[in-house]
Chain A
Amino acid sequence: MIHLFHFFLGPFQDFAFMRHALVACLALALGCGPVGVLLVLKRMSLVGDALSHAVLPGVAIGFLVSGLSLYAMTLGGIVAGLAVALVAGVVARFTLLKEDASFAAVYLMSLALGVLIVSLRGSNIDLIHILFGTILAVDDADLILVACISSITLVTLALIYRPLVVECFDPGYLRSVGGWGAMMHFIFLVLVVLNLVAGFRALGTLMAVGLMMVPAASARFWAREVWSMALVAVFIAMLSGYTGLILSFYVNLPSGPAIILTAGLCYVCSVIVGIHGSVYSRRRLGLHLGG
């Protein structure tokens, strides 16, 4: 019993960097779970990937202004991410183009601009490589950043939960009763950018986008309400964070991939045996109908 206890908790008792990594995962899971679920429901699941490229011009300008300062580069990244999300959102709202297409167009423009700025300066440093952190190197400042962003996310979501969900399923409704729909959508986009860019800086792109999207996609198979889906997503994200770190500790696997692959395993299981719309449940349903 003691051995088992030591096996599962020992690494976190002995090493501060393991504690930091675990807390960062848990905090990130809290904020990213609900945001990820809403992204899945809004069919914007690939926005995270797009944003990881879209931040480049901001990072580059941050670098030009103040050298290799992580703060300037993070701030630049957030500003660039927000600009891309907002411009793409406005285009999707007020023209016939859908969200995915407008996002693709704007993020590519942003990426190109970033490459241009980096090249004009003639610098050979891979800025993104420097900005994006790793889960094992999370320090106090990173933890505070992630914790703040998660708190802001949860409070904001609690405040705008109802209109946001309505907007999510029936964008026309809020527009017909007043202009709040667009407002909700933009507040939500700001949350997405904050969560992702903070995540990139503290943990790297793979962790930030992966911990947001993979659990959210898995949660779709286990719950029907938005809130319960978000709960499942948070649970899966936390479980993956813990299991992945333990695996990385004992089996010597790189931590980021270990965590995301654990989440991926949850996803595969969900796809096969989940309660709602999984392979198994559809097959059973099909048999019922047939019989």
Chain B
Amino acid sequence: MLIAARITALVLALFLAAGGPAAGAEKKVKVVASFSILGDMVKNVGGDRVEVTTLVGPNGDAHVYEPTPADAKAVSAADLVVVNGLGMEGWMDRLIKTAGYKGPEVVATKGIKPREMTAEETEEHEHGAKHKIDPHAWQNLANGQIYADNIAKGLSAVDQAGAATYKANADAYKAKLAALNQWVKKEFSSIPKAKRRMITSHDAFGYLGAAYGVTILSPMGVSTESEPSAGGVAKLIDQIRKQKITAVFIENVSDPRLVEQISKESGVKLGGELYSDALSKPDESAPTYIDMFKNNVPKMVEAMKKGL
């Protein structure tokens, strides 16, 4: 009797010991993020408590993405969906509807002052894409901190037990982003403002330009969907020649051929590849949001220095 009780207790204890953490692991919050940069942020804020699925993966283009059934499955099983908003993921609303997802949705750019494209820019980039609001808000690290807050809030709402953890994680992450922001500002300050000019293949760096005083020109509009005009490309080449712009870049998500052509024609050497709308694979140079800046900014600064 005594032995039986002891065995029962032992078994129970073992069961609890084994079952406890396992049950906790199963309860991970399932989060779907629309593209790789958001996915990385959710991982940072959520830590071990969340399981992140990223729809548009490394080096993928979220502007022209076509969701797959696997995506719909991931969304329908999710506890929380995180999107950028500001017209970035045109395909997302339909995917959420198709998947029958009724849970909460975090719009990471909530509370960010959207950057309207200036009159001249919209005129140039009018054809095809109708976006007047630039969605690439994460290119300003101050905005990145707002993203982190929004994500923490969204996670806390679906997993109240973890609210304190999310808050702590978000604060730690935000501190890292703030330090990075200081570093970026310092890097750019080594270049006189008039010389902070660069060309990229599609207009993804508007927020970065506004935040750090860089003038950004590109042959394509904000979306990778639109097609460039000969007049626009010619104007850009003229501008590079006249203003002696030395920073010309290609991006990981868009067709490099047009910018290569422009750089050849204007006699400027390409400054390398920038990561704008998607992170790289883990073994390449920008697998996280923070690494993206660490890759991009020195390349930009170095190329601009050639024009001094």
Q: Of A18, A129, A130, A253, which is within 8 A of B234 by CB?
A: A18
A203 CB → nearest B CB, Å = 11
B-contacting 9-mer, from A83-91, A120-128, A146-154: A120-128
A252 touches B231 (CB 8 A): yes
Q: Report the bound CA distance from A182 to B17 in whole Å.
A: 76
Within 8 A of A (CB), among B239-273: 255, 257-258, 260-262, 264-265
In the complex formed, the residue of A with least CB distance to B235 is: A252
Are B230 and A255 touching (Cβ within 8 A)? yes
Shortest beta-carbon distance from A26 to chain B in Å: 16
B259's nearest neighbour on chain A, judged by CB, is A137
Our pick among B57, B128, B228, B264 for the contact of A123 (Cβ within 8 Å) is B57
Q: Residue on B with the closest CB to A20?
A: B261
The answer to whether A134 touches B227, judged by C-beta atoms less than 8 angstroms apart, is: yes
> Considering the chains assembled together, what is the distance between the CA atoms of A21 and B224 in angstroms?
21
Q: Is the CB of B61 within 8 A of A252?
A: no
Chain B, interface residues (CB within 8 Å), range? 20 to 34
- Total A-B Cβ pairs within 8 A: 97
Q: Taking the complex as formed, is B59 at the interface, i.e. its CB lies under 8 A from any CB of chain A?
A: yes
A124 touches B56 (CB 8 A): yes
Contact string against B for A residues 253-265, beta-carbon threshold 8 Å, 1 for contact and 0 otherwise: 1111110000000
**A249 at the binding interface (Cβ < 8 Å):** yes
B156 near A: Cβ within 8 Å? no
Chain A residues, CB < 8 A from B231 = 248-253
Contact A137 B257 (CB under 8 A): yes
With A129-B64, A253-B127 as contacts: A248 and B265 at CB distance below 8 Å:
no
Complex: A14 Cα to B242 Cα, angstroms: 14
Whole-angstrom CA separation of A162 from B203 in the bound complex: 53
Question: Does any Cβ of A come within 8 Å of B48's Cβ?
Answer: no
A256 CA / B227 CA spacing, docked (Å): 8
A136 to B264 CA separation, bound complex (whole angstroms): 13
Docked complex: A227-259 residues within 8 A CB-CB of B: 245, 248-258
Question: A residues within 8 A CB of B128?
Answer: 254
Q: Are A21 and B230 in contact (CB under 8 A)?
A: yes
Is A170 on the interface with B (CB-CB < 8 A)?
A: no
Q: Does B60 contact A (CB under 8 A)?
A: yes
Contact among A15, A119, A254 for B227, CB-based, below 8 A = A254
Taking the complex as formed, is A16 at the interface, i.e. its CB lies under 8 A from any CB of chain B?
Answer: yes
Tell me the bound Cα distance from A119 to B72 in angstroms: 14
Name the one of A11, A126, A139 contacting B230, with C-beta atoms under 8 angstroms. A11
- B237 pairs with A15, CB closer than 8 A: yes
B116 contacts across to A, CB distance below 8 A: none
Name A133's contact: one of B124, B255, B264 (CB within 8 Å).
B255
User: In this assembly, does A186 line the interface, its C-beta being within 8 Å of a C-beta of chain B?
Assistant: no
- Does B61 lie within 8 Å of A126, measured CB to CB? yes
Tell me the complex Cα distance, A18–B265, Å.
10
The answer for the CA separation of A195 and B65 in the assembled complex, in Å, is: 29
Q: Whose C-beta in chain A lies nearest to the C-beta of B265? A: A16
Question: B228 touches which one: A14, A122, A136 (CB < 8 A)?
Answer: A136
B208 within 8 A of A: no
Distance (whole angstroms) from the CB of A162 to the closest CB of chain B: 40
A139: B residues at CB distance < 8 A:
257, 260-261, 264
How far is it, in angstroms, between the C-alpha of A11 and the C-alpha of B238 when the chains are bound? 12
Task: Identify 8 new A-B residue pairs, CB closer than 8 A, beyond the known A129-B64, A248-B231, A249-B229.
Answer: A11-B230, A15-B234, A123-B60, A124-B56, A125-B60, A133-B255, A136-B230, A252-B127
Closest 4 A-B residue pairs measured CB to CB? A124-B60, A254-B227, A137-B257, A248-B230
Cross-chain pairs A/B with CB under 8 angstroms, 23 sampled: A15-B234, A17-B262, A17-B265, A20-B261, A123-B57, A125-B60, A126-B64, A129-B255, A133-B257, A134-B258, A136-B219, A138-B261, A139-B257, A139-B260, A139-B261, A139-B264, A249-B229, A249-B230, A249-B231, A249-B234, A252-B232, A254-B226, A254-B229
